[in-house]
Structure 1
Amino acid sequence: MITRTTTLFGATAVVVALALSGCSGAGDSGAEAAADANLPAGDEVSTTVDPALTELLPDDIVEKGRIDVAIDVPYPPMAMYDENNRVIGFDPELGRLLGQKLGIDVSLNKQAFDSIIPSLQADKNDIIMSGMNDTPERQETLTFVDYTHGGFAILVAAGNPNGVATQHDLCGKTVSVQKATVQGELLRAMDCGADPVVVTELPSDLDAQTALRAGKSDAYVADGYVAEYVAAHTEDGEAFDVVRDPENPSGFNPVYSGIGILKEETELIEVIRQALQALMDEGSYQKVLERNDLAPYAVDSAEVNQGTVQ
């Protein structure tokens, strides 16, 4: 979808709870989820608290003492585990930075992608940071604070045996995608005449990749930065080829992605937007992008609901 400080100014970043068991959500208390893994480590980016922004936090968040973040793991480079089973990647690192800037704990809670919006509606989580595309349909429920802009890429087996060169070449072919993603909707909407794309939706992104490796699909489609990462890191880069859009280096059908918050939570939306803008102004947002090879997908400012802009 890696920031760390030597001092967290009272805002300790909380690692994914129950990550190894595959369960969703943290414990009843943010302190319960905190452990040695939340300490500053490596060369992650850090920031300082802005007391003026802390004052803008909604009362219920202040009373709880943390922001609960729904995140689908693994979904590299947006979210993944390091050798110590600490969650790293663009979303957790940016989430921890937001907590530091706001002076509040952040609990990163593993959540299956297709249940991530319901987890907000059930008050299990406060915000979504999971590489979620900002779309008009999702805006019926969420407001997005957008943080990247890019399209999707196509992965095919090494050597590209089916000669896929363009998006239209997917017509008549079986394409694997993660369930509940925008890519599935885009593929089904393609104008292929009598030879539509056969979309195979699978529970996780890894399942969609595995389908291609096993020959059960002709291609796998995901956000461009995810597809590029998968191609580079699977079998030392020998398993897949990336089909890129020559007319749009940031990917086919570029869209905005961002932090999703229930649209009625106006106070929380605004303080998250201002905190993200502060991280942009000081350069730490850009550093997190660069650490995760996402610099080409940067946005210039923290804006909301740009998914309606074509």
Structure 2
Amino acid sequence: MKHTGMAFLLLRDRPTSRRRGWAISLTCSAALIGAGVSACGSSSTPEAAPSATGGGITTGTGKGGEIPNNTKDPKIAALVPASLRKQGYLTVASENYPTAVIVPEGGGAPTGWEPAIAKQLGDVLGMEFRIKIVPFDSIIPGLQAKRFDIAMGQIAINPERKKVVIFVSEADSSDSFMVKKGGGLDIQKTSDMCGHTVAVLSGSVEAGAVRQANKECKQSGVKPITIQQYNDQSAANLAVQSSRAEINVGSTSTLTYVTQQHPDQFELQGSFKRSDGNITGIAITRTPEGQQLAKALHAGMNKLIKNGTMKAIMNKWNGGTGLIPESKLYP
């Protein structure tokens, strides 16, 4: 399906058996599609699986009104490296992470604010953005191995990642604590996790924040945190639902989405800002071609901010939060 000259494809990269049963109820379009990309890190390799294409990006759900359509900007499009312009598309790594990326059960077009941004950027650049859903912790290694051109999906920008990939900033974020409804916990700050079992996404910045909190628990002489790491967000949610973990730490927008979809099972408690920064963005391969592509994406993002497209996207998909005044390039 075409949208103002840009086709948007969803390519699956691994089997969906891990999402069967109750976990699927947390990973379909009417509920949670887990596995966040608010951070990336380890070296696991995606499992090979047949790819499946979906239709164009849907803007019929969410709140905040329709998102305006942009058209190709010849000046910005000219910044795209010639080899990529000839290719006509970008391979985009991502993971399921509402509300940033929401993939319907059984496949199809992803929704959420990242696909909405991708659509508008594609229109501005005159490029097709092909999203490939991959295991969470394979994204940064995949960029380093040049399997993907870029990655999108609420990827946190921090000093460690800036050493290995280029970033173009998109949004501001925070993290929160999600617990089982009626469990009697009151978790308002990171020190409240001491003595509890916490589920986090493997390789995420939230995992790093929990590890740091655990060091502080030990230094204070109180009971440490028992940390459980999971490969996707739905598994972390299931751990809390089944009482294997007491707390899930993740992006505020994602956990808000989960609690809204399952108000009888989960509740959101306190939120916090990480010390290593809370700005998220598009990650790009660190190559000469990637450096040039980053300039095009940076110019495109600032156009979307200035003409109100980003405000409409964040109103529709992220409760009006996360908007930044200007996109920055981290070469």
> What TM-score do you get using the length of structure 2 for normalisation?
0.79
Match of 1:151 among 174, 184, 196: 174
Q: Aligned residues: percent identity?
A: 22
Aligned to 1:289: 314
Q: Which runs of 5+ in 2 are unaligned?
A: 17-45, 61-65
Q: Is the 8 A contact 1:174 1:217 kept in 2?
A: yes
Displacement of 1:34 in angstroms is: 6.1
Match of 2:298 among 256, 273, 282: 273
The root-mean-square deviation of aligned C-alpha atoms, in Å, is: 2.6
Displacement of 1:52 in angstroms is: 1.0
Displacement of 1:21 in angstroms is: 4.6
Q: What amino acid maps onto 1:229 in structure 2?
A: Y
Establish whether residue 38 from structure 1 lines up as the match of residue 64 from structure 2. no
Aligned to 2:6: 11
Match of 1:90 among 109, 113, 125: 113
> How far does the alpha carbon of each residue in 1:192-212 deviate from its partner, in whole angstroms, 9 at most, with x for none?
124222211001011001000
> What TM-score do you get using the length of structure 1 for normalisation?
0.84
Q: Which has the higher contact order (CA 8 A, sep 6+)?
A: 2
Q: What amino acid maps onto 2:260 in structure 1?
A: A
Greater Cα offset, 273-282 or 252-261: 252-261
Give the Cα separation in 1 of the matches to 2:183 and 2:169: 34
Give the Cα separation in 2 of the matches to 1:62 and 1:103: 8
Q: What amino acid maps onto 2:94 in structure 1?
A: I
Match of 1:252 among 262, 273, 282: 273
SS at match of 2:11: coil
Give the Cα separation in 2 of the matches to 1:26 and 1:280: 37
Give the Cα separation in 2 of the matches to 1:114 and 1:298: 26
Number of paired residues? 287
Q: Is the 8 A contact 1:175 1:220 kept in 2?
A: yes
Q: 1:21-170 maps to which residues of 2 (within 5 A)? A: 21-22=15-16, 37-38=55-56, 42=60, 43-73=66-96, 75-82=97-104, 85-170=108-193
Give the Cα separation in 2 of the matches to 1:224 and 1:143: 25
Q: What amino acid maps onto 1:241 in structure 2?
A: E
Give the Cα separation in 2 of the matches to 1:161 and 1:129: 36
Aligned to 1:304: 329
Q: 1:131-210 maps to which residues of 2 (within 5 A)? A: 131-190=154-213, 191-193=216-218, 194=221, 195-210=223-238
Q: What amino acid maps onto 1:182 in structure 2?
A: V
Q: What amino acid maps onto 2:286 in structure 1?
A: K
SS at match of 2:147: coil
1:287 to 1:161, Cα distance in 2 relative to 1, 3 A: same
Q: Is the 8 A contact 1:17 1:26 kept in 2?
A: no
1:286 to 1:41, Cα distance in 2 relative to 1, 3 A: closer
